Amino acid sequence: MNFTESEYKRIVNIKDTDDAFDEMMGSFGELAECYKKFKETKDYESLSITDLTSIKTSSYFIFKSLRHCMTIDDSELKDFNEEELARYNDINSNIDIVTDTIKDCDLNDKESVTYKSLVKIFEHFELMNKDMNQLNQTMMETNKLLEESTILLQNQIKLNDLISSIENITFENCKDNLEWCQDTLKGFDNVLVNEVEEYIKNGKCYVEDYKNGNYDKDNLKDLNDKIFIQKVLKTLHVLEVKFDKLRLQKLSDNVKNNNFDEITISSDIKWCKKLLVPYEKADVLQVISDFTNGKQVDYKELIMKALENNDSLNVEKYKKYIEIFNITNIIVFLEMKQKTLQSNN
C-alpha cells in the first residue's frame, strides 16, 4: 500500500472531520489487514527495504490522519464521563506513540511500544478480529456517541442561554422555546422523564445530590442526564406560565390597536375562556356586574385603599378582579370583532 503525505494533506483539508474519517477508513482498514497478515505469518523479514519503508511511511501518514480525525474540541470533551475520557485519551496516546516511533521501530519486536500501541489501536476499532461489516457498525456507534455528546453539549448551551434571558423573553421566542423544551424531552426515555418529574415533586434536587456525593459514581452520565432533564422541566414550567401572560398581553395590545388575526380569533376566544376556569364563578360574575350598564369600578383605587388599611385579603381580591377584567375585556372585543367579520361574510 502507498498512503503518502499528499493523501494526508487531502484528508486534513476536509472541513468535516466525520467526512474525513470516512474518507480515510478504507486505507486504515487496508493497513490493519496488512498488519494482521504479518502478525499471523511473521513475514516482515521477507520484505525488501523499499516495501518496509513504504509500509512504515504509509502507517505514519495514516495514523497522523487518524489523529486529526479523532481530535475533539475541549468544549465538547466536558460532556464525556470519566470512562469515555480515559478511553479517548488512551487511544490518542497510542496513536501518538505510533506516529513518533513507526519509522525507526522493529516491527518484529512484539515488546516494543510501537507494536503494543498498534495492537491496542486495532483492537479498539475491532479490526483485528472482526470483518469490515462489523467495523462499519462499530464506527457508526462511535460516530453516534460523538454526535449524541455534541447534541447534548449544544442543548446545554442553549438551555443556559435561555435561562439567563428568560426574564426578558418575547412572546414569539417564548413559543419557540416551549416547543424546543418539549422536543428536547422527547429525546429521552419517557420512564426517565417521569422519574425526574416525581423526584422534583418530592422536593428533591439532582444538583444537590451531586454536591453531596449522593449518586452512583460509576454512572455519572445517568446523573448528568437527570440534571439536564430537571433543568428543562423547570424551565418548561416557567415558560408555560410566561407564555399565558405574554399571549394575553399580545391579545390585549391587538385589541387596543384594533389589530385582529382573523385566522386565530376563534381559538383565541376559546383560549381566553379557559383562562377563566380556575377563577371562582362568583368572582367572574362580580367583575361582569361591576362593568355592566356603564358602571366603571376602579380596582386599582380599591387596592390602594386596602393597602392603606393593611387589608391584605382585599388587596389579593382586587388583584384577582383586575386579572379577570383583563381577560373578559379581551373576550368581549374579540367576540365583537368576530361577529363583525361573520356579518360581512
Give the tens place of pLDDT for each residue, 216-252. 777 777 888 888 999 999 999 999 999 988 999 989 8
Give the tens place of pLDDT for each residue, 41-87. 656 666 778 888 888 898 899 899 888 888 888 778 888 888 888 88
Residue 299 CA to its chain's centroid (Å): 46
Out of 35-44, 159-168, 209-218, 307-316, which region has the weakest mean confidence (pLDDT)?
Answer: 35-44
Q: What pLDDT sits at residue 25?
A: 79
Give the tens place of pLDDT for each residue, 327-344. 999 999 999 888 888 887
Q: From CA 19, how far away is CA 187, in angstroms rounded?
A: 25
The 3-state secondary structure of 26-67 reads: HHHHHHHHHHHHHHHHCCHHHCCHHHHHHHHHHHHHHHHHHH
Give me the percent of the chain exceeding a pLDDT of 70. 90
List b or e across 102-115, with b for residues whose CB sees 16 or more CB atoms inside 10 angstroms.
beebebeeeeeebb
- What lies within 8 Å, CB to CB, of 66 at 6+ separation is 24, 28, 95
Collapsing DSSP to helix, strand or coil, 281 comes out as helix
Q: What pLDDT sits at residue 128?
A: 39
Q: How large is the average pLDDT for residues 295-322?
A: 91
Is a pLDDT exceeding 60 seen at residue 275? Answer: yes
Q: How far, in Å, are 176, 199, 209, 275 from residue 239 at the CA level? A: 10, 20, 26, 16
Report yes or no: 288 and 321 within 8 Å, Cβ to Cβ.
no
Grid cell digits, residue 177? 422555546
Give the tens place of pLDDT for each residue, 170-199. 988 999 999 999 999 998 899 999 999 998
Q: From CA 213, how far away is CA 202, in angstroms rounded?
A: 19
Out of 18-27, 137-146, 197-206, 235-244, which region has the weakest mean confidence (pLDDT)?
Answer: 137-146
pLDDT band for position 40 (cuts 50, 70, 90): low
For the chain, the average pLDDT equals 85
Is a pLDDT exceeding 80 seen at residue 9? Answer: yes
More confident: 35 or 86: 86
Q: How large is the average pLDDT for residues 213-218?
A: 75
Phi-psi region of 293 (alpha: psi -120 to 50; beta: other; left: phi over 0): left
Q: From CA 23, how far away is CA 4, in angstroms rounded?
A: 14
Eight-class DSSP state of 330 = H
119-133, 195-209, 216-230, 306-320: range with highest mean pLDDT: 306-320
Q: How large is the average pLDDT for residues 247-271?
A: 89
Q: What pLDDT sits at residue 237?
A: 93
For the whole model, what pTM was predicted?
0.49
